[in-house]
Structure 1
């Protein structure tokens, strides 16, 4: 790979799409502003800019080259100002391959290279290379070998057989979709989209539709609402299955490889040394069914990876399968789950107060202003009290040598397992009421995305327990 290479010509299309997306907001504003008398001028100006964008995309592709030389990935780019970027193999932390719909049509992939110092974006990103070339680059940059040749038919069967691997079944994937709780997210996105499109709907059409809906009656409107929620639920199932379809995790030496996605296929690399903590998440729907999601908090990375930092190690499994999974893929974290030390009973009133105070105020206000609808905040108040009780009941910790397990709940119950060496900061906080009740809040910090902190807090611990953990963190026990 000493000879400089260009990206696949399809990179021109990706460059053009990226440029148009950056100017999309301005294009929409221009269309809204000039859609009446000056629409022709708007079309002519937009066409001129489009020609410029196409020319710039072609020049950007032509002036971009890469090669591997002297244990470095060397990239040269820039149309008017030439830039050179040298990335040593020793600095590379992970190499991810992503194939969107257009990539898969042409048999291509996108290569993203992360280093220890990666910031808001990947250290290097090759937007379009052949899949065989992308896999060869990954192997070359990982192993450092320069004498072995690769092609798309290269296999190493004995090595593959020794690598533990597991794949999610269709049944489990369907359960993950039905219990994901993504209906609320999709509803919020749909509402936001409608609010943006509302300005393009003629007032007469909008008014007539509203009058027609009111005339249907309350029963029919309720039925239509249920049907809409059902459709959103089905969309949530489809979204989960598309995102995590063909999910496979494989362990190889000191790395985990995750492949997932039906439309956009992603191949993620997670170095074991960058895992700061391992978590088990149980949302309110899955917890009674005994299903959990296993994830890891990863140090470093870029904003390009989005939710992958925290990375989902497995979308859904039975709780009693977690230990076997950890023994196979993360043996350092196996066997560190134990019965936790619970929160003191006198802390329950603080949890209930924090979750219910807002709805209590709404209930009082409704009683004075709109008493006929007071049942709505009363229902919400009852739910908030139950949530407060659940948060108190689920909170706790367990310490064993260098290992610490903590558990807390927002809406989902999260169990976090970590080691002493991964904890970057420990904080104890108390307000006046906590001092009187001999309680304290513990806050732990580990390295998270982009080198910033990821924080975990357990409120209203026994003060003596918080002090013991503080001594353990400071090596004074």
Structure 2
């Protein structure tokens, strides 16, 4: 049960006493195993002392957070007290609450608990309540978001009252005087919470989207991480020795090399299908995106459930990404660019059809066109820059390979073949990078196209632009090009328009934010 305004501090759910000891044991399992192995090899006279500590220690450490954490709601703040020796009090004004995210691991869900994270838009600091009963967590989220709206109404009303009180006889035309009531002033009625509008659904999971999972390579990082961990212990495995390796090699060489390659490729592909589909299901199970309480609310997750809130007033744009493999099957991903949220970029859609990403993006922007409109091309000089950039990277790699070939005295025709392949790949990458390059000004939104193999389109509200940076390298100056960067507090804090003509860059910035670059705009500048 969540506290009412004015009541005293309350504790978290008593079921936290079951949750934290399990978490403490999980964090201490490796030291405990080492300690037990050491005990088993030492004198048993210390067992009566050490074993109780091993058992009671996690229980005590798990109980301390519940005993020392209290929270309460006042009419204007949420306050959280925690700590044993160093007492800490965290407060957040209700009108500064920007997000209320809920998360529940498998253990949380078994115990009927949820973790609440309250963001105020100040850096990445959040107030965390771990853990509340699931019903209390949902009620607290609704209460905080509703009272945030009331607090904002009160602030607006107070500002209006101050402005009204500032009007005096000297502020009125000659011959007029303000009318004053004869009786005492009538107090303004208290503001009531705004009516709760029904949630507007924007998207929900469609399991036909599973076809996009194998074409999203983000989970390859997990595969490589697992292989790295395995390699650390491979030398200690009993089956990994010279005799076993020699026997396995002799067995493999009985078959044709082509057959071995085919079998290994099919096996790797099957493993990747299992990993990618399983990861997609675990992350996006029950996915639902709705608009409610003036925010975008995303819920998803099978084992660990997430409930993420992004205040729409802080959303300054969106970014649609089409990775190269996903583009082959018509897929895309969508993220919001916002201020006051962790990392600034929040993925609000799983890999899904491009049409769905466009529709949801336009619903968030409340404007059709920026994600599908035609971009202004940057011309042949920008194409040469894109080609030169990729070819230079390929030449750097060839030089490094040549040094290695010379050092190990290897056959040079292999280096020639690899170098030719790298240069051909660089040419393809340069052409792809130029094709994705472009910009546009769609009403009050700046649109920038970028990416090499992945096609990225970034849309930023011009109201969210706080400055411009025009930079030129020596090569760009010779080509008459520049990089135009729109600085913003949202997302990654910058939107880059690469390799655009200098006069077009200045004109584009002036059109997006009239008057900000007026000193740099002259009759010689072109239009964007």
Pick from 135, 138, 152 the counterpart of residue 138 of structure 2.
135
The equivalent residue for 2:469 is 427
1:106-157 Cα offsets, whole Å, 9 max, x none, are 22211111112243x42x1111211110011111112129xxxxxxxxxxxx
Q: TM-score, normalised by structure 2?
A: 0.76
State the match for 2:247 in structure 1: 212
Aligned to 1:154: none
Q: Which string of whole-angstrom CA distances, capped at 9 and with x for unpartnered residues, describes residues 316-337 of structure 1? A: 3433444543454431x43334
* Aligned counterparts of 1:32 and 1:360: Cα–Cα separation in 2: 56
Note closer, same or farther for the CA distance 1:196–1:266 as it changes in structure 2 (3 Å cut): same
Distance 1:370 1:166, change over 3 A: same
Name the SS for the 1:285 alignment partner: helix
Distance in structure 2 (CA, Å) of the matches to 1:98 and 1:16: 19
CA distance in 2, matches of 1:183, 1:354: 28
Offset of residue 240 of structure 1: 1.6
Match of 1:255 in 2: 295
Instruction: Give the drift of 1:254.
Output: 1.8
Partner of 1:236: 276
Q: Quick one: structure 1 residues 53 and 370, their matched pair in 2 at CA, closer, same or farther if it must change by over 3 Å?
A: farther
Alignment of 1:267-416 (within 5 A): 267-302=307-342, 309-331=344-366, 333-337=367-371, 338-363=373-398, 365-366=401-402, 369-371=410-412, 373-374=414-415, 375-416=417-458
Matched, 1:163 2:163: no
Counterpart CA distance in 2 for 1:301 and 1:212 is: 56
| C-alpha displacement of 1:59 | 2.5
| Structure 1 residues 418-442: Cα deviation after superposition (integer angstroms, max 9, x where no partner) | 1222123321111222112111122
SS at structure 1 position matched to 2:200? coil
Partner of 2:112: 107
May I ask how many residue pairs the two structures share in their alignment?
451
Aligned partners of 2:94 and 2:147 also within 8 Å:
yes
Structure 2: distance between partners of 1:448 and 1:198: 45
In structure 2, relative to structure 1, the CA distance for the partners of 1:185 and 1:423 (3 Å cut) is same
Q: Distance in 2 between matches of 1:273 and 1:247?
A: 23
Under a length normalisation based on structure 1, what TM-score does the superposition of the two structures give?
0.83
Q: Distance in 1 between matches of 2:197 and 2:144?
A: 19
147, 150, 164: which one aligns with 1:144 = 147
| Contact preservation (8 Å) 1:176, 1:240 | no
* Deviation per residue, 1:383-434 (Å, 9 max, x gap): 2321111001110000245321000004311101112221233211112221
The RMSD of aligned alpha carbons is 3.3
CA–CA separation in structure 2 for the residues paired with 1:277 and 1:360: 37
The answer on whether the counterparts of 1:63 and 1:79 sit within 8 Å (CA) in structure 2 is yes
1:91 is aligned to 2:128: no
The alpha-carbon distance between structure 1 residues 60 and 183, as it changes in their structure 2 partners (threshold 3 A), is: closer
Deviation at 1:343, TM superposition (A): 1.8
- Cα distance in 2 for partners of 1:40, 1:220 equals 58
Cα distance in 2 for partners of 1:273, 1:400 equals: 20
Stretches of structure 1 lacking an aligned partner (at least 5 in a row): 146-157, 304-308
1:245 aligns with 2:278: no
Which deviates further from its counterpart, 252-261 or 294-303? 294-303
Aligned equivalents of 2:286, 2:46: Cα separation in 1: 45
Q: How far does residue 267 in structure 1 lie from its aligned partner after superposition?
A: 0.9
Distance in 1, matches of 2:295 and 2:335, equals 15
State the alpha-carbon separation in 2 of the partners of residues 165 and 361 from structure 1: 47
> Counterparts of 2:203 and 2:423 in 1: how far apart (Å)?
43
Structure 2 unaligned segments of length 5 or more: list them.
149-194, 522-528
Residues 267, 33 of structure 1: alpha-carbon distance in 2 compared, 3 angstrom cutoff = same
CA radius of gyration, larger in: 2
Range that drifts further, 283-292 or 414-423: 283-292
Aligned 1:9-24 pairs, distance under 5 A: 9-16=14-21, 19=24
Out of 177, 194, 219, the position equivalent to 2:213 is 177
Which of 476, 480, 488 pairs up with 1:446? 488
Q: Is the 8 A contact 1:323 1:335 kept in 2?
A: no
Range with greater deviation from structure 2 (107-116 or 4-13): 4-13
